[in-house]
């Protein structure tokens, strides 16, 4: 019996010693891992607090099998952007797990992600995710940067092709010394600088504006001139023209404290002369940019909006072209809008919900009227012979536009120039020469995308354009070409002019090469009745015109203005209507 008890006692002691040694071993391994983790984290997890201009820090800090994860990423306060970034972080982590989790080399691995955020021109948000993957023996170190650009006003992700145009790679290469610029280069836009982060090169956006699609006329003022804003008490309700962010201070560098959706009604307490409005939102004082506020006028009925038919349009039971037709809304008639579903507008029809295609509706009623065109008594145009209209946007330009005008004058032909109001005021003599050798239409005042503006913003830009015309030429414009050719129903109603677009795009903004511009025109074959789009701000376009005009004349074409082309082809132009050609 005693012998049996001694045997049990020895077994118990051995088990106890084994457990103690096992615990010590685990603690030792964890201590080594934690010391390695701290050492490697200090090496690779750089403190870049000064590079976080916007957003709240979110983090993932965990260990799974042989990999330790420390991931930091931003929450901006915008649901769509935050979801996009969260998905990107999940994708990075899952890709890493798939490749390295449970590696058989018995090494521990460390995966770090840190982030940077910057605010740039035109409310662009740049986000950088810096990824590091390190083995505990430091023999394997991988790092990579991922960049994302978002439009804070629309919450949309912006791709490289949305930022750059033309031969931008060659232009950017000129700033990169002794190194080849990769086509998949990473960049951010901070304040008014474009930064090539892989090359540590910073470029003022105004130096490369001809290679950018973004509207630099909306550039934010980041200067600290210490001039105190003046606030005016308004105590007024406004409606949001677009989704927008709320800040804790009157600056887009402030912390985002919320967001408000398009068409939401807000009570504004006061507004500053620096473009900010103050309101109480969720019991907190918040700030938003005043440009997103629009007046609530008599088209509002208890939060509902009256819309007008641009043409006879079907009223359907559901938001589908296959749905039952309940009735027809006649051109010019109004109906109450109560919501939106994709590309459909939800309306109130006979007391019930119904749907109309949004593209057929306008917030403003279009009163179509015939426009009397400005046709000089030339007497040398034969309506039975082929004719083509050359049109030039974005000018005037002091270098290239006079070159184009010289060609028109030399060959006694006419063209149409769609000028920007702000540039007309800057180069009035060139505009007057354009009018003498052709005709001038408006390309708006500041080249903003009218489809993205409120009714008030469109109205103000048109007013400035008309004032520029009256000051320089003594009359208001009668033809309009909107930037990018964008003219939704509301734009067509407000413009009160025929909209002249095009059906032949020379892509001169892209090619910047006279031969390629001419090749693009040659692709179309017969040009009779067509409207050709070019831009008067490029020397390469002017060089192409020097070859194009005599070549067209040799082929028997009459080169005429848009108004002449429409008149001699038998067209009557009306306000609120888009024209692409007069064949």
**Among candidate residues 154, 136, 179, 16, the one with its CA nearest the CA of residue 78:** 154
Q: Are residues 463 and 573 in the same domain?
A: yes
Of 10-24, 58-72, 378-392, 433-447, the one with minimum mean pLDDT is 10-24
Quote the distance between the C-alpha of residue 256 and its chain's center.
Answer: 20
Q: Are residues 205 and 263 in the same domain?
A: no
Q: What single string gives the DSSP state of each residue in 276-308?
A: EEEEEETTEEEEEEGGGEE---TTEETTEEEEE
Distance CA 105, CA 279 (A): 59
Highest mean pLDDT among 10-14, 79-83, 282-286, 364-368: 79-83
pLDDT at residue 200 in the model: 80
From the list 393, 394, 461, 496, the catalytic residue is 393
Q: What 3-state class would DSSP assign to 475?
A: coil
Residue range 296-322: mean pLDDT, rounded: 74
Distance CA 569, CA 551 (A): 22
Task: Note whether 539 and 399 are within 8 A (CB).
Answer: yes
Q: What 3-state class would DSSP assign to 416?
A: strand
Give the CA dihedral 216, 217, 223, 227, nearest 10 degrees. -170
Question: What percentage of the chain reaches a pLDDT higher than 70?
Answer: 82
Q: Are residues 287 and 304 in the same domain?
A: no
Would the pLDDT of 302 be above 90? no
Of 168-177, 237-246, 346-355, the one with minimum mean pLDDT is 237-246
Beta bridge partners, 233, equal 270
Q: What digits encode the pLDDT tens for the residues 391-449?
A: 999 999 999 999 999 999 999 999 999 999 999 999 999 999 999 999 999 999 999 88
- Please give the radius of gyration of the chain, using alpha carbons only, rounded to the nearest integer: 32
286 part of a folded domain? yes
Q: Are residues 257 and 145 in the same domain?
A: no
Q: Are residues 129 and 273 in the same domain?
A: no
Q: Where are the alpha helices (DSSP H) in 295-427?
A: 400-411, 421-426
Distance CA 97, CA 332 (A): 60
- The enclosing domain of 195 has a CATH number of 3.30.565.40
State phi, psi for 130 to the nearest 5 degrees.
-95, 115
Distance CA 55, CA 126 (A): 11
Q: What digits encode the pLDDT tens for the residues 487-532?
A: 987 888 888 899 999 999 998 988 888 999 999 999 999 999 999 9
Would the pLDDT of 103 be above 80? no
231 part of a folded domain? no
Task: Note whether 551 and 559 are within 8 A (CB).
Answer: no
Distance CA 405, CA 427 (A): 14
Q: Are residues 252 and 164 in the same domain?
A: no
476 part of a folded domain? yes
Residue range 298-311: mean pLDDT, rounded: 63
Q: Are residues 408 and 553 in the same domain?
A: yes
- The enclosing domain of 271 has a CATH number of 2.30.30
Would the pLDDT of 383 be above 80? yes
99 part of a folded domain? yes
Q: In the listed set 265, 293, 321, which residue is the last one of a domain according to the structure?
A: 293
Is 393 noted as a catalytic residue in this protein? yes
Would the pLDDT of 570 be above 70? yes
Q: Which position has the token pair 């910073």? A: 202
Distance CA 497, CA 476 (A): 11
Q: What digits encode the pLDDT tens for the residues 145-193?
A: 899 999 877 788 989 988 999 999 989 998 887 788 888 899 998 888 8
Q: In the listed set 218, 234, 260, which residue is the last one of a domain according to the structure?
A: 218
Q: Are residues 329 and 351 in the same domain?
A: yes
540 part of a folded domain? yes
Q: What digits encode the pLDDT tens for the residues 45-60?
A: 444 445 777 777 787 8
- The enclosing domain of 337 has a CATH number of 2.30.30.40
pLDDT grade for 35, boundaries at 50, 70 and 90? very low
Q: What single string gives the DSSP state of each residue in 76-138?
A: -S-HHHHHHHHHHHHHHHHHHHHHHTT-TT---EEEEEEEEEEEEGGGEEEEEEEEEEEETTS
Q: In the listed set 198, 218, 238, which residue is the last one of a domain according to the structure?
A: 218
381 part of a folded domain? no
* Paired tokens of 553: 């004349």
pLDDT averaged over the chain? 82
Q: Are residues 311 and 280 in the same domain?
A: no
Residue range 529-554: mean pLDDT, rounded: 96
Task: Note whether 534 and 545 are within 8 A (CB).
Answer: yes
Would the pLDDT of 315 be above 90? yes
Q: Which residue has the higher pLDDT, 289 or 133?
A: 289
Please give the model's pTM, rounded to 2 decimal places.
0.49
Q: Are residues 452 and 575 in the same domain?
A: yes
Q: Are residues 344 and 466 in the same domain?
A: no
| Domain interval for residue 253 | 247-293
State phi, psi for 147 to the nearest 5 degrees.
-115, 145
- The enclosing domain of 413 has a CATH number of 3.20.20.370
Residue range 275-295: mean pLDDT, rounded: 78
Beta bridge partners, 478, equal none
453 part of a folded domain? yes
Kindly give the interhelix angle for 539-554 and 400-411, rounded to the nearest 10 degrees: 10
Q: Are residues 101 and 201 in the same domain?
A: yes
* Paired tokens of 212: 């950018």
Helix (H) or strand (E) holding 58: strand 56-64
227 part of a folded domain? no
Looking at 185-283, which runs of residues are DSSP E strands? 187-190, 193-196, 201-204, 231-240, 244-247, 256-260, 265-272, 276-281
Q: How many domains does the chain have?
A: 4
**Among candidate residues 278, 375, 419, the one with its CA nearest the CA of residue 571:** 375
């Amino acid at each position: 019996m005693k012998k049996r008890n001694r045997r049990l006692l020895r077994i118990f002691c051995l088990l106890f010693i084994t457990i103690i040694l096992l615990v010590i071993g685990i603690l030792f391994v964890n201590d080594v891992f934690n010391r390695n983790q701290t050492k490697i984290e200090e090496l690779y997890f750089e403190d870049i607090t000064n590079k976080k201009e916007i957003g709240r820090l979110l983090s993932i800090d965990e260990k799974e099998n042989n990999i330790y994860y420390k991931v930091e990423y931003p929450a901006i306060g915008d649901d769509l952007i935050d979801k996009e970034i969260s998905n990107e972080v999940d994708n990075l982590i899952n890709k890493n797990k798939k490749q390295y989790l449970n590696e058989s080399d018995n090494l521990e691995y460390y995966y770090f992600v840190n982030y940077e955020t910057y605010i740039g021109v035109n409310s662009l948000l740049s986000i950088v995710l810096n990824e590091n993957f390190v083995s505990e023996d430091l023999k394997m170190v991988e790092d990579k940067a991922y960049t994302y650009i978002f439009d804070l006003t629309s919450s949309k992700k912006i791709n490289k092709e949305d930022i750059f145009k033309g031969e931008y790679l060659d232009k950017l290469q000129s700033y990169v010394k002794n190194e080849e610029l990769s086509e998949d280069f990473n960049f951010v836009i901070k304040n008014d600088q474009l930064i090539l982060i892989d090359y540590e090169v910073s470029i003022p956006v105004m130096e490369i504006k001809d290679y950018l699609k973004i509207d630099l006329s909306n550039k934010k003022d980041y200067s600290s001139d210490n001039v105190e804003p003046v606030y005016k008490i308004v105590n007024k309700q406004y409606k949001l023209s677009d989704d927008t962010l709320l800040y804790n201070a009157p600056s887009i560098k402030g912390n985002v404290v919320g967001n408000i959706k398009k068409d939401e009604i807000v009570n504004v307490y006061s507004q500053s002369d620096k473009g900010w409005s103050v309101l109480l939102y969720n019991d907190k004082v918040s700030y938003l940019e005043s440009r997103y506020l629009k007046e609530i006028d008599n088209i509002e009925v208890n939060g509902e909006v009256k819309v007008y038919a641009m043409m006879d349009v079907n009223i359907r039971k559901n938001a589908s072209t296959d749905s039952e037709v309940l009735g027809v809304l006649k051109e010019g008639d109004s109906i109450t809008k109560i919501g939106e579903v994709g590309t459909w507008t939800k309306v109130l029809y006979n007391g019930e919900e119904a749907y109309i295609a949004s593209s057929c509706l306008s917030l403003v009623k279009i009163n179509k009227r015939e426009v009397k065109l400005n046709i000089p008594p030339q007497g040398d145009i034969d309506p039975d012979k082929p004719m083509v209209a050359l049109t030039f946007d974005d000018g005037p330009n002091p270098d290239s536009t006079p070159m184009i005008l010289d060609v028109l004058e030399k060959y006694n032909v006419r063209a149409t120039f769609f000028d920007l109001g702000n540039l007309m005021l800057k180069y009035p003599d060139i505009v007057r020469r354009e009018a003498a050798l052709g005709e001038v239409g408006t390309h708006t005042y500041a080249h903003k995308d009218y489809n993205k503006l409120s009714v008030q913003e469109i109205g103000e830009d048109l007013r400035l354009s008309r004032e520029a015309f009256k000051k320089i030429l003594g009359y208001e414009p009668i033809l309009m070409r909107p930037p990018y050719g964008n003219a939704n129903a509301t734009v067509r109603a407000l413009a009160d002019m025929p909209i002249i677009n095009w059906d032949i795009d020379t892509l001169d903004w892209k090619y910047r090469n006279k031969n390629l511009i001419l090749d693009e025109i040659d692709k179309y074959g017969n040009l009779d009745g067509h409207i050709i789009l070019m831009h008067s701000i490029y020397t390469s376009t002017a060089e192409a015109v020097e070859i194009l005009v005599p070549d067209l004349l040799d082929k028997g074409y009459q080169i005429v203005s848009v108004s002449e082309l429409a008149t001699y082809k038998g067209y009557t132009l009306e306000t609120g209507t888009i024209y692409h050609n007069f064949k």
